[in-house]
Amino acid sequence: MPVVKARESDIDLLARLLRAEAEGEGIQGMMMVGNVGINRIRADCSDFKGIRTIPQMIYQPHAFEAVTHGYFYQRARESERRLAKRAINGERVWPAKYSLWYFRPEGDCPATWYNQPLVARYKLHCFYEPTATECENVYNTF
């Protein structure tokens, strides 16, 4: 059962984001991008107050470099559509399980990003999650 509402066009949109942001990180990396996106919709905290849909999450200003810099033009492939559906259905993988932020630094991962503590690095990306007191909705079970 989906943890956020999603039409077919939303699934395609999320699939395009997964591919654009993390194709080089493989299936696991793309799944983590999906986790962060779904977490942002569910969070209702920090910079994500009022974000309720996949399009709102993806097109939030400055949220994703792939959207900002134009890597987001490729069509959704069935493999990424399946990953997008898994994320929409609530499947989570560590270290993105509760993360609201990730980014790819030039060197080591900073200890915090947007005041969120580092969880871990996966390949080239660092993942950051809020504390439960800052953003309890991220930690709610489905």
Q: How big is the CA angle at 24 (ends 123 and 1), to the nearest 5 degrees? A: 90
Percent of the chain surpassing pLDDT 70: 99
% of residues, the chain, pLDDT over 90:
77
pLDDT of residue 142: 63
- Residues 6 or more apart whose CB falls under 8 angstroms from that of 32 comprise 22, 25, 93, 95, 96, 99, 102, 122, 125, 127
**Tens digit of each residue's pLDDT (9 = 90 or more) over 59-77:** 999 899 888 887 788 888 9
Tell me, what's the pLDDT at 17?
96
